[in-house]
Amino acid sequence: MALVNAYIVYRKLWERKPRKDSHFIFLARLHKDLIEQTEACFTHSRAAPNVAAEIPSVVQGEHKLTQTTDYRMNNGVQRLRQRQCKVCSCYKPEGNKRGGTSSYYCAPCSQGKKGPITLCNKERGHPNNEGLTCTQIWHLVWQNGEFAPKTSHIRDLGVAKE
């Protein structure tokens, strides 16, 4: 299936070419190119070398996520209240209405704030922080919200703006 998909992409790429190669010619050329590959082609990478992260991967101390006890009624069914994740709200694209939601918050970070610091515990692939959950970004990268982005396009009571 991968070869068929590769051929489809190849044909789409070369649509403007007056005479397109047949599937057989494409496979023959692909086979020849694969045979000419050496071990060096597979061991050398163009990607940046994998540098050990300076940021620990586990949130230390008393900063643990606590599930909220707030409930709401939805068509006669009692459900946990979910709020917008602070990290997802900062990283959401300008045109999107909302970031991710969660029913978990960090109690120590919420002290002295106007509301709970709601954080989700999912890897969302935020820029410059791929592979980290929102909780790890808030506590480790932003150091419990002290270094959270101030120039965000959201109206947020938990993260101070300049």
Q: Express each pLDDT in 25-39 by its tens digit.
A: 878 888 888 888 887
C-beta neighbour count of 140 within 10 angstroms: 21
What pLDDT does 73 receive?
A: 92
pLDDT digit string, tens, across residues 61-86: 788 888 988 899 999 999 999 998 88
pLDDT category at 55 given cuts 50, 70, 90 is low
Average pLDDT of the residues of the chain: 78
C-beta neighbour count of 142 within 10 angstroms: 18
- 133-148 average pLDDT score: 85
What pLDDT does 49 receive?
A: 55
* Residue 129 and residue 137 in contact, taking contact as beta carbons nearer than 8 Å: yes
Predicted confidence (pLDDT) at residue 91 exceeds the cutoff of 70: yes
Beta strands in 28-150 (DSSP E): 65-67, 71-74, 77-80, 83-84, 101-102, 104-106, 117-118
The residues spanned by each domain of the chain are 1-12+22-38, 65-141
- 98-121 average pLDDT score: 87
